[in-house]
């Protein structure tokens, strides 16, 4: 009898441990690395229409930014993101912004608040709500703002750059390295990207 | 005689009371006084992260705009109170924006009467200094480093007081 009990206990422990490890694998998921194929999405824009990358038939790639209303770093970069779209949409690399936060935790990032911000800042690019928070974990975005430059190929949209917009969050005029622009310029010229991954402080994505 | 004694005690007590009031008043005034915030770029910060004396250092990177940072702040303050006499120093490195030093950071320090040492890091070239602090840090805060001359651990997480104390104990034994 005690043997059976022992076996059951061991089984239970094994089950518990494996359940834990399975969980761990999910939480340790790092998202995309350079060269991975990025998933497409179908998310609602502030104008009420659904947007996917596949809608952009003529695009050569995309500048994806995970951003929000409430993070002060994201706010500091709003104008620069707008400029990126103005400069690169015509060259085939439009900006698509995705708001990844849980809007229950961050009411300032609600769909209505996103609509207001997009209107007041005159966003020239779609500002999408990551409904259900399913897209940002696949990309591996951890913060706002978090940038991904993708290049459209026959195989799909390939991740070419992950990281910051540039090297100076507080003063656009003091920027020395425009990481995202450098990456897109290199892709347009068919050259190798010098810095494919950079880091910057940002606000944790609220789940 | 008894009457005189009572009177004497009363007078003594009232005196003491008086002194106490004055002392707390003085304290309040000094809290309202302006103070100098120590501001460093990364080169200036680095010595705070690499001290080789006999102390254990608990360094927390935070900002007033970072909600989870504010939530765990009392735990660092409590740790500082409980361990400052045990060769432990808590250092709070603020990543607030320079234009918010006067508006947000200094009022926060005053309002919450922070007892741990607070310094501000002002170095916009994050891509250079973030990997120097830890190669696995992607730039979200809060993060914490606990180190002494023989050991160093980087924590990309938030803490409860018990978790923080538990981690610190690993450095003290």
Tens digit of pLDDT for each residue in A88-109?
999 999 999 999 999 999 999 9
- pLDDT band of residue A27 (cuts 50, 70, 90) is very low
Non-local CB neighbours of A64 within 8 Å, separated by 6+ positions: A38, A95, A96, A97, A98, A139, A147, A148, A149, A150
User: Over 70: is that where the pLDDT of B28 sits?
Assistant: no
Distance in angstroms (rounded) separating the CA atoms of residues B17 and A123: 63
Taking CA–CA distances from B125, the nearest residue in chain A reads A167
Give me A134's structure tokens.
């399913």
User: Over 90: is that where the pLDDT of A21 sits?
Assistant: no
What mean pLDDT comes out for the span B105-132?
A: 96
Q: Which of B97, B124, B139 sits opposite A143 (nearest CB)?
A: B139
CATH of A31-204, one of 3.30.70.3340, 3.40.50.11810, 3.90.1150.10, 3.40.30.10: 3.40.30.10
Domain residue ranges of chain A, discontinuous segments joined by +? 1-30, 31-204
Q: Do B138 and A199 touch (CB under 8 A)?
A: yes
- pLDDT band of residue B3 (cuts 50, 70, 90) is low
Comparing A12-26, B35-49, B119-133, B155-169, the range with the smallest average pLDDT is A12-26
> What's the gap in Å between the CA of B122 and the closest CA on chain A?
10
| pLDDT reported for residue A35 | 97
Distance in angstroms (rounded) separating the CA atoms of residues B120 and B39: 5
Query: Average model confidence (pLDDT) for chain B?
Result: 86
| pLDDT reported for residue B145 | 98
Q: How many residues are present in chain B?
A: 173
What mean pLDDT comes out for the span B37-51?
A: 97
User: Over 70: is that where the pLDDT of B123 sits?
Assistant: yes
| pLDDT reported for residue B33 | 58
Q: Which residues pair with A151 in a beta bridge?
A: A61, A158
pTM of the model: 0.81
| pLDDT reported for residue B1 | 52
User: Over 80: is that where the pLDDT of A119 sits?
Assistant: yes
- pLDDT band of residue B10 (cuts 50, 70, 90) is very low
| pLDDT reported for residue B85 | 96
Distance in angstroms (rounded) separating the CA atoms of residues B73 and B62: 9
Sign of the four-CA dihedral B16, B20, B23, B25: negative
| pLDDT reported for residue B12 | 44
User: Over 60: is that where the pLDDT of A8 sits?
Assistant: no
B142 upstream amide cis, omega within 30 of 0: yes
- Transcribe B107-150 into DSSP letters: HHHHHTT--SEEEEE--S-HHHHHHHH-TT--SBS-EEEEE-SS
Largest CA distance in chain B: 79
Q: Which residues of A have a CB under 8 Å from any CB of B?
A: 71-72, 76, 142-143, 163-164, 167-171, 174, 177, 179, 195, 198-204
What mean pLDDT comes out for the span B79-98?
A: 97
User: Over 60: is that where the pLDDT of A81 sits?
Assistant: yes
Q: Do B127 and A202 touch (CB under 8 A)?
A: no
Give me B66's structure tokens.
């970072």
| pLDDT reported for residue A170 | 86
| pLDDT reported for residue B13 | 45
Q: Which of B65, B99, B126 sits opposite A200 (nearest CB)?
A: B126
* CA dihedral of A147, B71, B99, A202, whole degrees rounded to 10: -10
């Amino acid at each position: 009898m005690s043997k059976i009990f022992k076996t059951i206990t061991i089984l239970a422990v094994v089950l518990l441990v494996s359940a834990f490890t399975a969980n761990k694998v999910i939480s340790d998921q790092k998202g995309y690395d350079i060269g991975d194929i990025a998933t497409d999405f179908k998310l609602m824009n502030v104008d009420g229409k659904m947007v996917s990358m596949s809608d952009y038939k003529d695009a050569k790639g995309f500048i994806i930014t995970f951003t929000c209303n409430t993070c002060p770093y994201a706010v500091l970069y709003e104008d620069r993101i707008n400029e990126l779209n103005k400069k690169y949409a015509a060259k085939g690399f439009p900006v698509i912004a995705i708001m990844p936060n849980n809007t229950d935790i961050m009411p300032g990032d609600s769909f209505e608040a996103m609509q207001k911000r997009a209107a007041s800042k005159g966003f020239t690019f779609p500002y999408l709500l990551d409904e259900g928070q399913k897209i940002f974990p696949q990309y591996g975005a951890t913060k706002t703002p978090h940038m991904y430059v993708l290049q459209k190929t026959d195989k799909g949209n390939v991740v070419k750059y992950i990281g910051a917009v540039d090297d100076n969050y507080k003063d656009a005029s003091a920027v020395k390295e425009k990481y995202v622009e450098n990456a897109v310029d290199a892709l347009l010229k068919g050259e190798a990207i010098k810095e494919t991954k950079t880091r910057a402080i940002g606000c944790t994505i609220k789940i | 005689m008894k009457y005189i004694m009572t009177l004497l005690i009363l007078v003594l007590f009232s005196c003491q009371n008086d002194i106490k009031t004055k002392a707390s008043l003085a304290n309040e005034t000094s809290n309202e006084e302006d103070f100098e915030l120590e501001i460093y770029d990364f080169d200036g910060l680095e010595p705070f992260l690499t001290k080789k004396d006999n102390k254990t250092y608990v360094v927390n990177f935070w900002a007033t705009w970072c909600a989870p940072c504010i939530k765990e702040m009392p735990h660092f303050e409590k740790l500082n109170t409980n361990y400052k006499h045990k060769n432990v120093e808590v250092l709070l490195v603020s990543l607030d924006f320079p234009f918010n030093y006067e508006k947000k950071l200094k009022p926060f320090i005053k309002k919450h009467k922070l007892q741990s040492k607070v310094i501000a890091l002002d170095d916009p070239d994050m891509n250079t200094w973030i990997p120097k602090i830890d190669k696995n840090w992607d730039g979200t805060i809060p993060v914490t480093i606990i180190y002494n001359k023989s050991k160093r651990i980087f924590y990309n997480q938030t803490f409860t007081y018990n978790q923080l104390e538990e981690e610190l104990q690993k450095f003290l034994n």
